[in-house]
Structure 1
Amino acid sequence: MTKPLLAAFATLLALLGGCASVPPTNVHQPMTIRPQPRADLASNNGGIFQQSASRPLFEDRRARFVGDTIIVNIVENTQASIKGNTSAEKTGAINASVTGLTGVPGKTFQGLNAQASSSNTFSGKGESGSSNVFTGTMTATVIEVLPNGNLLVSGEKQVAIGQGQEFIRVSGVVNPYQVTAANTVNSSQMADARIEYKSSGFINEAQVMGWLARFFLSFLPF
């Protein structure tokens, strides 16, 4: 194998490894952002308060600007179930006979008896249920302040354990009036919330069906 082919093969392996190490996401992008520069205020430093490193003296610490952080309490507990039962039944019968014919040439149909019956029965039953429980706490960043004052927040937490990595991602729109004095908000109070818990590593790969097997599973009609 020539050197260009070896280099191309190594690049392909690196790309595949990089794609496998970071699961794709659907949360709002970007997941972090630097604070925007603000207009300089008149310096009025004191022994404790420093204008360049602090907010106004009587302003709380809740997130307001792009780049501010906010604590998101992930509290998701949803349950759904559906059950249906349908039945239908239809029966029918017919009985005809020819006992005698008068004034008709030929006696072919005399004494003819005909009986018929039909029955149609249908029964269907379906049941489905799902349960979702997800709790945790993480910190997100304000990535945009909407014209009405709502905050678009997004964040990611990565935890590496041994040979695997866990990714917790959250994003959504937060009403600043629902942010507590401790700068926290529940995920149930976020609009357009997108919460993900994914992992990567050989343990996760062992639980995923290969792409060729998925192809035949969706392609074959039997």
Structure 2
Amino acid sequence: MKKPILVLSLLLSSVLLTGCLNDPAEVLTGPRLSPVGSGLRTQAEPIPVTPRVRTPVSYRSTWDDGTDLYRDPRARRAGDVVTVIISMQDKAKLDNKTDRSRDSQIKFGLDWLMDVAGWSDKGSTSANLSTNTQIKGNGQIDRTEDIKLSIAAIVTDVLPNGNMMISGSQEFRVNTEMRVLNVGGIVRPRDISRTNTISYEKIAEARVSYGGRGNLSDVQQPGWGHRIYDAVAPF
């Protein structure tokens, strides 16, 4: 009677632990898309902006004083959209090898002869100490990255000096796998091109992440039990 209860308890614990790591609703249906606007993260206090007063349009007027006929299409205010171009071609190769050894040997000897009040003593002693240490290390890094992406970001805030904070995200779902692209940082208005685009290397405090979640990503990662063991194992 106790054995079935133990097995049931273990199964229930496994289900609860699995639910803590993943959304139970996504186990069979796959990852769900995030709500629109959830990727906007305001990292500074918003600056109050004086609303623009729109001049009433007179009857049979050709021009509207409240519109800007020659307005620059580049993003300048909170809520405007700018396109971020990510083009990264990076290749790095590093070889490092360390070989260090040291031998040390110490010899010590002492002879004595004493004669005190008719009592004499004679002897000798010696000590020998030797050490040997050796350290070897070998490391190699061979990395190649080729990323070309573009993402639309929204101006979330305008700083006092005119620089703008941007944040953008994209989600692509293919079957049961979700690919997520996030970008954020601070840009200068002068770095935005006439086509309302900006290259990622001109973004200060740039935060670019590209990953995913779903069945494929879960298979590529070790199980939660293995990760817990690696975290607490002393060796």
Alignment TM-score > 0.5, same fold: yes
Cα distance change, pair 161–29 in 1 and its aligned pair in 2 (3 A): same
**Structure 2 segments unaligned to the other structure (5+ residues):** 1-15, 43-48
Secondary structure of the residue aligned to 1:94 is: strand
Structure 1 equivalent of residue 219 of structure 2: 206
**Structure 1 segments unaligned to the other structure (5+ residues):** 1-8, 31-35
Aligned residues: 199
User: What is the root-mean-square deviation of aligned Cα atoms in Å?
Assistant: 4.0
**TM superposition score normalised by structure 2:** 0.65
Cα distance change, pair 217–123 in 1 and its aligned pair in 2 (3 A): closer
How far 1:70 moved relative to its partner? 0.6
Identity level (%) = 22
Please say which of residues 15-24 and 186-195 is displaced more in the overlay. 15-24
Structure 1 equivalent of residue 87 of structure 2: 75
Structure 2 equivalent of residue 40 of structure 1: 54
| AA partner of residue 71 (structure 1) | T
Structure 2 equivalent of residue 3 of structure 1: none
CA shift digits 1:53-83 (9 cap, x unpaired): xx62223211111221111011345558584
Structure 1 equivalent of residue 9 of structure 2: none
Structure 2 equivalent of residue 58 of structure 1: 70
How far 1:196 moved relative to its partner? 1.3
Cα distance change, pair 157–97 in 1 and its aligned pair in 2 (3 A): closer
Secondary structure of the residue aligned to 2:225 is: helix
Q: Which runs of 4+ in 1 moved over 6 A?
A: 49-52
Aligned pair partner of 2:25 in 14, 17, 31: 17
Conservation of the 8 A alpha-carbon contact between 1:168 and 1:195: yes
Secondary structure of the residue aligned to 1:181 is: coil
How far 1:153 moved relative to its partner? 0.9
**Mapping of 1:79-98 within 5 angstroms?**
79=92, 83=96, 85=98, 87=100, 89=102, 91-96=104-109, 98=111
Conservation of the 8 A alpha-carbon contact between 1:23 and 1:198: no
Cα distance change, pair 213–197 in 1 and its aligned pair in 2 (3 A): same
Aligned pair partner of 1:188 in 197, 201, 205: 201
Conservation of the 8 A alpha-carbon contact between 2:79 and 2:156: yes
Structure 1 equivalent of residue 45 of structure 2: none
How far 1:141 moved relative to its partner? 1.1
Higher relative contact order (CA 8 A, sep 6+): 1
